[in-house]
Chain A
Amino acid sequence: MTWTDEELVARSIGGDANSFNELILRWERPIYALAYRTIGREEDARDVCQETFLRAFRALPGFRGQAKFSSWLYRIALNLCRDWIRRERRTPVVQTPEDVDLMDLAAAAAPSESVEDLVARKDLARSVERAMARLPEEQRTAIVLKEYHGLTFQEIADLVGCPLSTVKTRLYQGLTVLRRELVKNANAPRALKS
Chain B
Amino acid sequence: MTDTVCGYSGDRDEALIAYLYDDEDTARRAEFETHLAICWRCRDEVDALRGVRRQLARWSPPSFAVASHQPPVASHQSPATSHRTWWREIPAWAQVAAALLVLGVSAGVANLDVRYDRNGLSVRTGWSKPSTESAIAATGAAPGVGPAMPTPWRADLTALERQLRSEIRAVPASVATASHATAPARATPANDAEILRRVRALLDESEKRQQRELALRVGEVLRDVDAVRQADLRKIDRSLNGVQNSLGVEVLKQRESLNMLMRVSQRQ
Partners in one complex: yes
B48 proximal to A (CB < 8 A): yes
Beta-carbon contact of B86 and A128 below 8 Å? no
Query: CA A175 – CA B85 in complex, angstroms?
Result: 36
Question: Interface residues of B, CB < 8 Å — how many?
Answer: 35
Beta-carbon contact of B86 and A33 below 8 Å? no
Of chain A, the residue at the smallest CB distance from B11 is: A165
Known contacts A18-B82, A175-B49: A128-B13 contact under CB 8 Å: no
Known contacts A25-B85, A32-B61: A179-B56 contact under CB 8 Å: no
Q: SS class of chain A's interface: helix, strand, loop or mixed?
A: helix
Residues of B within 8 A of A152 (CB): 23
Known contacts A24-B85, A32-B61, A33-B61: A153-B23 contact under CB 8 Å: yes
Beta-carbon contact of A32 and B67 below 8 Å? yes
In A172-192, the 8 Å CB interface with B consists of: 172, 175-176, 178-179, 182
Residues of B within 8 A of A37 (CB): 59, 61
Question: Interface residues of A, CB < 8 Å — how many?
Answer: 42
Beta-carbon contact of A128 and B85 below 8 Å? no
Per-residue A-contact encoding for B3-37, CB less than 8 Å = 1, 0 else = 00000000101101110110100000000000000
> Which segment, of A44-52, A65-73, A82-90, faces chain B?
A44-52
Q: Give chain B nearest CB distance to A32 CB in angstroms.
A: 5
Residues of B within 8 A of A21 (CB): 79, 82-83, 85
Beta-carbon contact of B56 and A178 below 8 Å? yes
Known contacts A25-B73, A168-B13, A169-B14: A146-B21 contact under CB 8 Å: yes
Knowing that A124-B55, A132-B59, A153-B21 are A-B contacts, what are 13 other residue pairs whose CB atoms are under 8 Å apart, sorted by A's residue number?
A37-B59, A46-B89, A47-B91, A125-B58, A125-B59, A127-B55, A147-B56, A168-B14, A172-B13, A172-B16, A175-B17, A175-B52, A176-B49
Can you sample 27 A-B contacts with CB below 8 Å?
A18-B79, A24-B82, A24-B85, A24-B86, A25-B73, A25-B85, A42-B67, A45-B61, A46-B67, A46-B89, A50-B86, A53-B86, A124-B55, A124-B58, A125-B58, A125-B59, A129-B59, A143-B56, A147-B53, A165-B11, A168-B14, A168-B17, A169-B13, A171-B17, A172-B13, A179-B52, A182-B55
